[in-house]
Amino acid sequence: MYKVVFFDVDGTLLSEIDRSMHESTREAIQRLIDKGIHVVVTTGRPYSLCSQFKELGINTFISANGAHIKCREEVIHKSVLSSEIVHDMSNFAELHGHSVSYFTEEFAMNGIASDNERVIQALNETLNLGRYPEKSRDLSEEVYCLCLYADETEAQKFFERYPALTFERFHGYVMNVLEDSKVSKLTAIQKVLEHLKIRSNCFW
C-alpha cells in the first residue's frame, strides 16, 4: 500500500495553460489525505509561493528544486548558498543590468531590470506572477537558490566568472543557480522518505 505521494506543480497540480487547479485535483488530494497518505509537493518554486497547496492540507514541501525541504513547518533539509557567492553574484548582475531572484523563506528580487518585458514574461510563465516582486532589502537571510534572468548569450559572462556554480536553465530567460551540484528533487525525495521512515517501494 502506498504511504506517500509526490506531486510536481506545473503541468500536474496546476494547468500548464493558465496555472489553475482543477476541482478534480483538489478532490483527489483530499481523498489521499483522508486515507492517511502523505502528500508532498515537489517544485522549483520558493516555499513562500506554495500557500495555495497549504490550504489543501498539504504540509510537506520540497521547494527550490530540492534545496529546501519543510515538513509540518520543520525544515528537515536545506542547501544554503554561501554569503560570498550571493553578494558577489548580486553585484555582478547589477553591474551588467540583470535581474536576480532570491529563494529564502520568502521570495524577493534585486530590483534590477524591473520593467524589462522578458523578465516580467518569465515571472508570469514560471511563477504565475503578474508583477515584479518586492526588492530584497538586505542579503543577510539564508538563500537556498538564486535565479538569474538572462538568455544563453547574456549568461556566458556568468558561466565564465562562476565556473564552480551549477546553472540549470528551466525557461528561455531564467536559470537556477546552485552551489551544491547534488541538489535535486530526487535527492530531496529520498530525504523525505528517510524523515518519514518510509521505504522507497511505498511511494508513488
CA distance 135 to 66: 24
For residue 2, what pLDDT is reported? 81
pLDDT digits (tens, 9 = 90+) for 93-103: 999 999 999 99
Q: Could you tell me if 67 and 183 are in contact, meaning their C-beta atoms sit under 8 angstroms apart?
A: yes
Q: What is the DSSP code (8-state) at residue 113?
A: T
Residue 1 clears pLDDT 80, i.e. is over it: no
pLDDT digits (tens, 9 = 90+) for 51-92: 889 999 999 999 998 999 999 989 999 999 999 999 999 999
CA distance 4 to 172: 33
pLDDT digits (tens, 9 = 90+) for 171-186: 999 999 988 777 889 8
Mean pLDDT, the chain, as a whole number?
A: 91
More confident residue, 12 or 29: 29
Q: Could you tell me if 135 and 100 are in contact, meaning their C-beta atoms sit under 8 angstroms apart?
A: no
Confidence of residue 203 (pLDDT cuts 50, 70, 90): low
Q: Could you tell me if 113 and 99 are in contact, meaning their C-beta atoms sit under 8 angstroms apart?
A: yes
pLDDT digits (tens, 9 = 90+) for 93-147: 999 999 999 999 889 999 999 999 999 999 999 998 989 998 887 788 899 999 9
For residue 201, what pLDDT is reported? 64
Domains of the chain by range and CATH? 4-78+183-202 (3.40.50.1000), 83-178 (3.30.1240.10)
For residue 187, what pLDDT is reported? 92
Which pTM was predicted? 0.87
